[in-house]
Every structure is written in C-alpha cells, then in structure tokens.
Amino acid sequence: MLCHTSMNSRQVCIAGGFTVKFNWGFLEMFSFGFLLLFATEAAAQGKAEKDKIRIGYAARAVTHSLPFLAQEAGFFRDEGLQVEVVRTSGAVSPMALLSGDTDFATMSAFLMIPVAARTPDVVMLGGLTRYASMTLVSHPEIRSAKDLIGGVIGLQRPGDAYEKNARSALQHLRLNPDKDVKFLYLGTNDAMWIALEARRVTATMLSPPATLFARKTGMNFLVNLADLKIEYQGSTFTTRRSVVKSYPNLVYRTMRAMVRGIHHFKTRREETYRIFGKFLGTKDREALEESWNYGADIPAKPYAVDSAVQAVITHLSEGDAKFAKYKPADFIDSGPLSEIDKSGYIDKLYASQRK
C-alpha cells in the first residue's frame, strides 16, 4: 500500500529524453497488482520486507544490554539488518513499541503485560530472566531486620517489580512491609543507588554494577533474592504481533541475532566486558565482572516461562482484579524462537563448549 501511494504522486516519467504520459488508471491497476503479487510471494517465502529496525531497551541493566551487545558484535549486520538500539526508559518502552517508534524492545514483564492486556498486538518473544534477582542493600549500621524497622526503602515506582521484590525481601526478614518500613518512590532505577549513597533512604534494591559500588562503600547486603529462587519473569524481548505476521523472516533473523548475542555473552567474557563498558558507562573491571556474573544465568534458549509470567500476572491482579482472567499464553509467542531451536542452530552454537 505504501508503494502504491508513493506511485500515485508521479504523473509522468522521463525516458530517453522524452516525457511520457501514462494512462493513470491502467498504471494504477497494474502497479498495485504487481506489488500485491510481490508481497504475497514474499510472505509465502518468509522474506522480510524491511531491513531497518529500532530496538528499545528499558533500563541500563545487564539483561537489557543484549540488543546492544548483539549490535556491537555485528550479529544483526550478519543477518542483513540495519539496527538502531535506543533507550526507551521505564514506562516509555511499551508505549514506544506500541506507537511503532521501536520494532522490538527489552522490558520487564511487569511493564509489558498491562499494555498487552489493553492492546493484544504487544507480545513477548522470549524471556531473559526467570527469577527475581535484586539485592536488598542498607547502610552499614543496619545489620539486622530489627535495625530496619522505621526505616525508608528507596524504590522506583508504586507497585512495580522493584516494590514487589522489596516486599519479598522484607517478608523473608519477617518484617511487615506495610507497617515496619516506609517506601520512598524515586522515579528511576538509576536514582536508587544515588539516594542510598546520599542517605536519603535507609535501604534500597540494587543490581550490578551498583552492588559493587555499594560493597566498596561498606553497605550491608541484607537479602539476595537470587538465593531464594522466587519465580518472577523479569526482562523480556518483546515486539508486536503485527510485526510477526507481516515480517516473519525479519523476526526470525532478529531472534537469531539475539540468541547469538546470548551465546557471545556466555562464552566470550573479555569481549563482553568491553561491550558492557560502553553500555554501562564504566571501565571498572570489578564492576564489569560483577555485571557478567549477575547475568550468567540468562538462558541459552530464552523462552518465556509460563510459571514466571504467571507470577507477574498474579502480582498485577493484586492491584487490579481484571488481570486475574489472563493466562501466560495470552502474552507469549514462542514460535520464532522455537523454530530457531528446532533447526538445531542454538545447539550448534554451544556444541564446541560441550566437547
């Protein structure tokens, strides 16, 4: 349709020095029919009709770095794709995807599911983290749960995944999140470490590289949620169903580059450190190592896990009962990843490491 419309603006053609006027009705019918035939044939062959895409990431965090890593390592280029990786922070990320400003995005399931519930076009192609993995970190003088009573916990936004994780950590310490502490909402995850360091808050939830900065300044680590194995789908790789339908080959190649990026992350540590440094804005070797260790459990085959997605749905339904009617399958399309998996591509990537 776009090609047909653009043709509509041309009334004449210059050929061999002559101006040739067309019977526009005939040309319109011919050109539209030709383009329709081409599009149908391309779809049947699984060919992408575009090679330029934008991928958004919702946070400057390890699990959101994979599109940037795949781009820097040249994997999208190897797939014939021209990719721009852009920051679409927080709640902006699903809106940018929905509006078409981005074609794919990394974002938490907590951000993605409410938008997908309103607009079913949004769908997760894969999951990058299955378990809650942040750490409750406090000032050095806070040594026990009792010391935390009456304190202020710095978080991002009301009811989000950070708050959910903080509540889990506090309950693990046998504290009542609604009575024993107060929550201060800071707006972004970047502000949480800054607030702790500046003593605006008593404790907060951190992930690398901020955990290293906290350790170096003598902060106390109260609860590492990774040790508790609490299922909660964190980072996801998301697109629109309309993209999957219209450009199946594009989606396949994008997912293949992402899978290759995960393999690079897991098997080429030094090169990953270099790319991490650019993404995270640090050259601190310890910070890069801590970040890598934090993401070491990213699955080689990044399927979204039904039970982990259900945990997010349950969390959302606690604040709004309408979410209770949804099932994980309403938000997941594992088809492209499954196709890559069944082809043996992922197993071949890791075959040399198993020898």
pLDDT band at 208 (very low <50, low <70, confident <90, very high): confident
Q: Report the distance separating Cα 122 and Cα 110, nearest Å.
A: 13
> What are the tens digits of pLDDT across the range 216-273?
999 999 999 999 999 999 999 999 999 999 999 999 999 999 999 999 999 999 999 9
Name the pairing type of β-strands 152-155 and 203-206. Answer: parallel
At residue 61, the pLDDT reads: 85
203 sits in the region (left: phi over 0; alpha: psi -120 to 50; else beta) called beta
> What are the tens digits of pLDDT across the range 71-80?
999 999 999 9
> What are the tens digits of pLDDT across the range 32-59?
343 334 343 444 444 446 789 999 998 8
* Side chain identity at residue 117, one-letter code: A
At residue 21, the pLDDT reads: 37
Residue 38 near residue 2 (C-beta atoms within 8 A) = no
At residue 228, the pLDDT reads: 94
Mean pLDDT, rounded, for 155-167: 91
Helix (H) or strand (E) holding 104: strand 104-108
> 180-210 in b/e burial notation, b at 16+ Cβ within 10 A?
bbebeebeebebbbebbbeeebbbbbbbbbb
In 3-state terms the chain splits into helix, strand, coil percentages (rounded to 5) of 50, 15, 30
> Residue 26: pLDDT above 80?
no
Helix (H) or strand (E) holding 39: helix 24-44
pLDDT band at 354 (very low <50, low <70, confident <90, very high): low
> What are the tens digits of pLDDT across the range 182-206?
999 998 878 999 999 999 999 999 9
Mean pLDDT, rounded, for 291-304: 93
The sign one gets for the Cα dihedral 309, 315, 319, 322 is positive
At residue 35, the pLDDT reads: 36
Helix (H) or strand (E) holding 275: helix 269-280
At residue 335, the pLDDT reads: 98
DSSP type of residue 90 = T
β-sheet bridge partners, residue 239: 123
> What are the tens digits of pLDDT across the range 319-346?
999 999 999 999 999 999 999 999 999 9
> Residue 16: pLDDT above 50?
no
Tell me how far apart the 2 most distant CA atoms of the chain are, in Å: 89
At residue 187, the pLDDT reads: 86
